[in-house]
Structure formats: C-alpha cells, structure tokens
Amino acid sequence: LDAADAPCAGKSEIHITGSLYRKEDMLKLANLSDILTFEIEHISMEGLKAVESSGKRVVPSSKTLEIIQDKGTQKQFYQSHQIPTTDFRLAADTSNWATLLDELEIEQQFVIKTRTGGYDGKGVEIAHRANLPLLLEKYINTPVVLEKPVDFTTELSVIVARDLEGNMQVYEPCEMVFDPVLNLVDTLVTPARISPKLSQLSKDLAVKTVSALEDAGIYAVEQFLTADGQLLVNETAPRPHNSGHHTIESCYSSQYDQLNRILFGWPLGNPSQKMPAAMINIIGPEGCHGTYRLSEASALLAIPGVYVHLYGKAETRPGRKLGHITILSEDMSKLEQLIQQVKSLVKII
Amino acid sequence: LDAADAPCAGKSEIHITGSLYRKEDMLKLANLSDILTFEIEHISMEGLKAVESSGKRVVPSSKTLEIIQDKGTQKQFYQSHQIPTTDFRLAADTSNWATLLDELEIEQQFVIKTRTGGYDGKGVEIAHRANLPLLLEKYINTPVVLEKPVDFTTELSVIVARDLEGNMQVYEPCEMVFDPVLNLVDTLVTPARISPKLSQLSKDLAVKTVSALEDAGIYAVEQFLTADGQLLVNETAPRPHNSGHHTIESCYSSQYDQLNRILFGWPLGNPSQKMPAAMINIIGPEGCHGTYRLSEASALLAIPGVYVHLYGKAETRPGRKLGHITILSEDMSKLEQLIQQVKSLVKII
C-alpha cells in the first residue's frame, strides 16, 4: 500500500493509508468520520461491525453487506423475498456436487460462483459437466453457488438510491454488453434498448430488491432478461457501480451525487436522464504492465459528446480498469456509431 | 491570508499561500508549474512579466492582461480594432472633465469607470452631471473612463475558448440580469432570449474580439444590445466567468473543461448546450457578517434540475459571492417558473 500512488491521495484533506481487511485501520478512519460508506464489497466484516459498535453509522450497513458479500446468502435472500433469480444450489464442498447438479437438471454447462471473494468476473466460472473430475479437484474445499445457466438476451443493471428515511429514486435500466474474453463489462448503453413495458418491470424489480434490503445506499441491481421475456436478478452491488458511471454526464443527478445526498441527509436528486449515453471501460490490455498512456487521447477528446475519465492508477495490469469513457448523443443510432468510433480509438500503450 | 481557510486548500496536492500582488510569491508558484493561468484580473503585472521572463507560459499572456486590466486601454483596443463599443473619453485627472462630457454630449447621466482596480461592480459609478462638483472632488486624481450611457434592452455575455494554436469555440449568448441594488449580476439565462439572428451576431462579435486579442484562454465578452438593435462590447474578462458557470451542467464541455484542454494542449471541447439553463448568484446579504449557512438548502436540493454550488468561503460579507445555483429545464417557460421558485428560497443566514 503506497499512499503517494493512490488516485485519491491528492483529492482529500485527510488521507489515511490502511487496509480494508484490518479492523484497526477501519476504526482509525471511523474515528475521523461522522458517517461512512464503502466502494468495494470485499472488506472486513469484523472491522465493519466494530465501526458500527463504535457508534458510527455505515451506509449501507454491515447487515446488508453480510447478505451481499456471500453470494450464497445473497441467493437465499432473493429466494426468501420472492425475487426471481436463476435456479441454484449451495455446496459447502464438492462431496455432493453430482446430486446438486442433478437436482438442477444440468447435463452440460453450469455456473460456479465462489461464495466469497469474487470481484469483476473473478470467482465466476462457466463450467461444463464433462469436466467434472477436474472441477471437483479445483473446488474441493471451496463453498460455492452452483447455478443453472439461463438463456438471456440482455443483461441489465438498474441503479437505485435509497436515503436514510427510506425514500427511493430509480434510474433508467442500463444495458450491459460483456466482453466474452475478459469476462468484464465492455460497453453499456442507457436507456437499455428494450420495450417501455420491460423497462418499467426492470425498474420495479430493482426497487423491490432494494426495498427488501431495507437499507440506505446506492445499489446496482443486475438482471437477466431471458429469451422468454422473464427478468431475473443476477446480483446486487451495494455501492456506486460501473453501470452508473454514465450518470455523471447523462443524468440530472449522478450516482455519486445521490450518495453524497444520502450521507448528508439531503433530499434525493433527480435520476432522470438528459439524453442517451454509452459507457466504455478502459481496461489494461493483455501483456501490458507498468506505466501506460491512452495513446489516442487527443483524438477521443476531439469527438463531441465524448468524456474521458482516467482514474490515475499508477500502473496497468491485464484486465485492470484504468478508466472509462462516456458518450452522449441525443440520437440512439448516432450513439451506436460513436461507440464504434470510440472503441477503435481506445488503446492503452 | 490564511491558507487553512482557503476554499482550494484541500483540493490540490500542493497549496501555496501568497499574494497575487507580490512578484516573489508569483515566481514561487511559477517554479512549481509547467503552465499558468489566473482567475482574477487584478494581479501584479510586474509579477506576471517576471513569470513569463522566467520561461513559463501564462495563459492568457501579460500582453492581453495589460489591455484588459486598464479599462481605458481596453476601450482604445476596441476602438482600434473596429469593435463597436460605447462612446468614451479618457481622463487622467478631473481638470478637463467638463470638456470631455461636452464632447460626449452628456447633459445628465454618464458612467465613470476607474481605469484600474475595479471588480464586480466596484469602480463603476452611474453619475449625474448635476453632481459634477462633488464628483470632481471624489475623482480628483483618479484616471477614469467617462462613458456615454447607452439605452440597452439586454446585457449579454458570450464565452469564447481559444486554444494555443488559435482554434476557437464559442458558447451560446448568456442573458445577464443585474440586481440594481447590489450592482451585481443577479440571474443569467442561457441561451439569451433574443432572435437567432442577433444571437449569431453576438457570437460573431465575441469571436471578433477574442481574435483581435490573438491569445489563448477563456474569455467572456460582455455586450449591450441597444434599444435600436446594435451590439456594443462593454468589457471582456480573460478568465472563466460568472456568465459561464451554467456550462458546468448545461453544456457538453464547460468553461473549466475548456480551460483545462487549452492548458494541456488538448483539442477544444464541444460548447453546445444540452438544454436551457439559468444561474443565480448566492450573495452575502446586507448586515450579515461572519459564518453563515444557506437556510433553505434542503428545499433547493429537492427541486429537480437545481444544482447548488457553495464555494466554501469561511465568512460572508455584504455583496460577497458565496456560491451560485444552476437550474436546468428543457422548457424555457418552466425554467422561468423555477427561477422564481429558487429565488424565493435563496436565503443566507
């Protein structure tokens, strides 16, 4: 941990270097704070509870993070609240995988998610039953969620803001396009190119999910739209999310503005979208390590409606999120052209 | 000068406390910088030239600031470049005021501007010839510009960005509504409620003015639209301007984004406006000194399309700019309603 290198180091009046896995460091931050939030789920639960016991409010609370941090508990939460989700079984170890896969009627492909520690596509594997012997070895003592894959046409994400009093505001559904190689979100288009009816159902499902959590915060409720028109919740992130980055430029009130409002106890902002937006992640390419630059930055900055965000991370690594680009256009077909133009210019060297 | 109190103190990695009137302090900043800019005209010209002599580029340059800092020189500049402006005379002292006022055919009202040191309405006086004896005493040794008042219907401001290579981008004209009591801009509406033809002429005049300066930077070219439809340049500010604050939310690229682009040598951004905007200054009220708060902040934040900016100044003083509020609306008549609603809620206590 190098404080001088941290992108946030120069942006705040007080900067603490510490680990989100060390209770002592978390308490040190809490002592300086009136209210706290987090932007990553993988933090020490013991530390978070110690912060709350010290009398400081954390938004969202440890209760919510406990549900979300463990993908098995999260699945059970959806089930117990009648929130549609993909069929699944929990396995503490691999001893009964065969039975569980049978129960899920899986003959070929299935999804394995480690219950804890996954992030940005890590900890998620699309597996094939034919490879079962190897998989049983790999996951021998790892608690996992086994999921039946769904035939989905679109992956959606809906940002919901919930304030300390329980008021909610919901954003337009975002359509997430994954890069199958990196297993990372590649391009996002908001509003999603789905019918108004489905859009409303997707927003309703997101609100239902956040209502069930009964906690303040910014949430991204990721959903599958299946080939037969069903919406299933995949997972929920209890923090500002990649699928909400476009809100900085495209909405009256961004996901970050909403989070500020929530923490300060101010009224929620207006989530309406001013115009359609696309977002492209800037990701560290394969085989590229160390210092880097965005080689076509100048050409990108010259395109009207294009916003380049670089996070100021000191070094690139393959698959690392280095920044993102937001594109605005009043016209959806023009937006699609701009996406292609921008994608051809995003090069990290 | 108290560094800890400065609004910018916690926002930058390096913060220097110094005076813009002391050459030594300006050189200290220059030594740490690759390129410099300023956000106030009233800085030491000797210091600025010393910075340039040290080999550091300042945007805009001392040459431009020299023209603008002295309102007399600025007037002569307009005159020599055939840029329409109000009739004026320069007076080194009051000895020949009567002759100059006669030349301007002034019998009653006229405008007195001190050549240097004026800011935000200070240094500008609307005077009456009947009070001449008193005025001659007040301005006895002060070099001033005497101006013939114009019968204007609207005051406009046009922001122009000019990069290091001479490329320019121009924003929509902003309509400035002055508070006659504070002699400060009160409400601004952009685009100005004038005909498309006048709007284009106003933009052309702003571009002509900045072209004549032949220098990079962000400029606000303030103009009078006279009762008989003429556009006259009143004055030019060589920096991000109050009349461009709305661009943060209403335009693809804000005046601040443009200035960054200029300083970094990036292509200029898109000045197009996403939707109509109004801006209201938050000004320290009469009789109110010391710490303060915006009493109806919560009600203001609850209005969709309203953005509250407080500059973090530690203390209020009568007439001091403490912040501003931007209002966005797709519909101009709704925008006008929102202006009234917001104005009724802006209270500093």
Whether residue B99 lies within 8 A of chain A, CB to CB, comes out as no
- C-beta of residue A289 within 8 angstroms of C-beta of residue A317: yes
Per the model's pLDDT, the better-predicted residue between B327 and A183 turns out to be B327
Whether residue B197 lies within 8 A of chain A, CB to CB, comes out as no
- C-beta of residue B148 within 8 angstroms of C-beta of residue B104: yes
Average pLDDT, chain B: 93
Closest residue to A12, CB basis, from B10, B298, B304: B10
Distance, in angstroms, between A325 CA and closest chain B CA? 14
| Inter-chain residue contact A305 with B12, CB threshold 8 Å | no
Cα–Cα–Cα angle for A87, A143, A67, rounded to 5 degrees: 65
Beta partners for residue B310, in sequence order = B323
Count Cβ–Cβ pairs < 8 Å, chain A vs chain B. 42
Give the torsion sign (CA, B139, B145, B147, B152). negative
The residue in chain B having the minimum alpha-carbon distance to the alpha carbon of residue A11 is B11
Whether residue A261 lies within 8 A of chain B, CB to CB, comes out as yes
Per the model's pLDDT, the better-predicted residue between A117 and A210 turns out to be A210
The 3-state secondary structure of A275-304 reads CCEEEEEEECCCCCCECCCECCHHHHHCCC
- Residue A46 in this model has a pLDDT that exceeds 80: yes
| Inter-chain residue contact B270 with A297, CB threshold 8 Å | no
Interface test with B, best of A252, A310, A325 (most B CBs within 10 A): A252
Q: B-chain residues within 8 Å CB-CB of A272?
A: 304
- C-beta of residue A87 within 8 angstroms of C-beta of residue A224: no
Distance, in angstroms, between A328 CA and closest chain B CA? 8
Q: B122 falls in which pLDDT band (50, 70, 90)?
A: confident
CB contact residues (below 8 A), chain A span 315-334, against chain B: 328
| Inter-chain residue contact A305 with B270, CB threshold 8 Å | yes
The residue in chain A having the minimum alpha-carbon distance to the alpha carbon of residue B257 is A307
Closest residue to A10, CB basis, from B13, B252, B275: B13
Residue range B170-216, pLDDT digits in tens: 999 999 987 676 666 689 999 999 999 999 999 999 999 999 999 99
Whether residue A264 lies within 8 A of chain B, CB to CB, comes out as no
Rounded Cα gap, residues B321 and B142, in angstroms: 27
Whether residue A304 lies within 8 A of chain B, CB to CB, comes out as yes
Interface test with A, best of B169, B262, B266, B326 (most A CBs within 10 A): B266
Q: B-chain residues within 8 Å CB-CB of A12?
A: 10
Task: Report the percent of chain B where pLDDT is more than 70.
Answer: 96
Q: Could you tell me if residue A203 is left (phi over 0), alpha (psi between -120 and 50 degrees) or otherwise beta?
A: alpha
What pLDDT, on the 0 to 100 scale, is given for residue B178? 73
What pLDDT, on the 0 to 100 scale, is given for residue A120? 60
| Inter-chain residue contact A305 with B275, CB threshold 8 Å | no
Residue range B255-272, pLDDT digits in tens: 999 999 999 999 999 999
Q: Residue A311 is encoded by which pair of tokens?
A: 């996070």
> How many CB atoms neighbour CB A159 within 10 A?
30
What pLDDT, on the 0 to 100 scale, is given for residue B35? 97
Q: Which amino acid is at A181?
A: V
Q: How high is the ipTM of this complex?
A: 0.82
> How many DSSP H helices and E strands does chain B contain?
11, 15
The 3-state secondary structure of B137-174 reads HHCCCCCEEEECCCCEEEEEEEEEEECCCCCEEECCCE
Whether residue B302 lies within 8 A of chain A, CB to CB, comes out as yes
Distance, in angstroms, between B342 CA and closest chain A CA? 16
- C-beta of residue A295 within 8 angstroms of C-beta of residue A348: yes
- Residue A339 in this model has a pLDDT that exceeds 60: yes
Rounded Cα gap, residues A327 and A335, in angstroms: 7
φ, ψ of residue B286 in degrees (nearest 5): -60, 145
Q: What letters, b where the CB count within 10 A reaches 16 and e where it falls short, cover A18-46? A: eeeeebebbbebbeeeeebbbeebebbee
> How many CB atoms neighbour CB A280 within 10 A?
22
Q: Residue B343 is encoded by which pair of tokens?
A: 């104005």
The residue in chain A having the minimum alpha-carbon distance to the alpha carbon of residue B273 is A305
Listing DSSP states for B229-250 in one string gives S-EEEEEEESS--GGGTTHHHH
Whether residue B8 lies within 8 A of chain A, CB to CB, comes out as no
Nearest CA among B177, B195, B194 for reference residue B186: B177
Distance, in angstroms, between A252 CA and closest chain B CA? 6
What pLDDT, on the 0 to 100 scale, is given for residue A209? 98
Q: B-chain residues within 8 Å CB-CB of A258?
A: none
What pLDDT, on the 0 to 100 scale, is given for residue A181? 67
Whether residue A92 lies within 8 A of chain B, CB to CB, comes out as no
| Inter-chain residue contact A252 with B328, CB threshold 8 Å | yes
Rounded Cα gap, residues A348 and A246, in angstroms: 21
Q: Residue A210 is encoded by which pair of tokens?
A: 């956040």
Using CB atoms within 10 Å of the CB of residue B7, give its burial: 0 to 12 exposed, 13 to 18 middle, 19+ buried. Answer: exposed
Whether residue B252 lies within 8 A of chain A, CB to CB, comes out as yes
Residue range B21-40, pLDDT digits in tens: 999 999 999 999 999 999 99
Q: B-chain residues within 8 Å CB-CB of A327?
A: none
Q: A-chain residues within 8 Å CB-CB of B338?
A: none
Nearest CA among A60, A268, A261, A74 for reference residue A171: A268
Whether residue B109 lies within 8 A of chain A, CB to CB, comes out as no
Interface test with B, best of A32, A246, A274 (most B CBs within 10 A): A274
φ, ψ of residue A161 in degrees (nearest 5): -110, 130
Distance, in angstroms, between B270 CA and closest chain A CA? 5
Whether residue A149 lies within 8 A of chain B, CB to CB, comes out as no
- Residue B2 in this model has a pLDDT that exceeds 60: no
Task: Report the percent of chain A where pLDDT is more than 90.
Answer: 83
The SS3 of residue A94 is coil
Alpha helices in chain A (DSSP H): 23-31, 45-53, 62-69, 71-80, 97-103, 132-138, 196-213, 247-250, 255-264, 297-301, 332-345
Average pLDDT, chain A: 93
Distance, in angstroms, between B57 CA and closest chain A CA? 21
* pTM reported for the whole predicted model: 0.87
Distance, in angstroms, between B276 CA and closest chain A CA? 12
Question: Long-range contacts for B138-142 (Cβ within 8 Å, ≥24 apart)?
Answer: B139/B93, B139/B94, B139/B112, B139/B114, B140/B93, B140/B94, B141/B93, B141/B94, B142/B93, B142/B114, B142/B115
Whether residue B295 lies within 8 A of chain A, CB to CB, comes out as no
| Inter-chain residue contact A305 with B252, CB threshold 8 Å | yes
Task: Please name the residues in contact with B3: beta carbons below 8 A apart, sequence gap of 6 or more.
Answer: B9, B15, B17
Bridging pattern class, strands B35-37 and B57-59: parallel
What pLDDT, on the 0 to 100 scale, is given for residue B329? 96
Closest residue to B304, CB basis, from A266, A270, A328: A270
Rounded Cα gap, residues B328 and B304, in angstroms: 8
Rounded Cα gap, residues B239 and A192, in angstroms: 40
Q: B-chain residues within 8 Å CB-CB of A267?
A: 298, 301-302
- C-beta of residue A270 within 8 angstroms of C-beta of residue A325: no
Whether residue B272 lies within 8 A of chain A, CB to CB, comes out as yes
Rounded Cα gap, residues B205 and B221, in angstroms: 8
Alpha helices in B247-291 (DSSP H): 247-250, 255-264
| Inter-chain residue contact B270 with A10, CB threshold 8 Å | no
> How many CB atoms neighbour CB A114 within 10 A?
18
| Inter-chain residue contact B304 with A252, CB threshold 8 Å | yes
* Half-sphere exposure in the Cβ direction for A302 (13 Å, CA): 12
Rounded Cα gap, residues B14 and A341, in angstroms: 38
Whether residue A10 lies within 8 A of chain B, CB to CB, comes out as yes
- Residue B1 in this model has a pLDDT that exceeds 50: no
Mean pLDDT to the nearest integer, A232-242 = 96
Q: Which amino acid is at B30?
A: A
- Residue A119 in this model has a pLDDT that exceeds 80: no
What pLDDT, on the 0 to 100 scale, is given for residue B123? 86
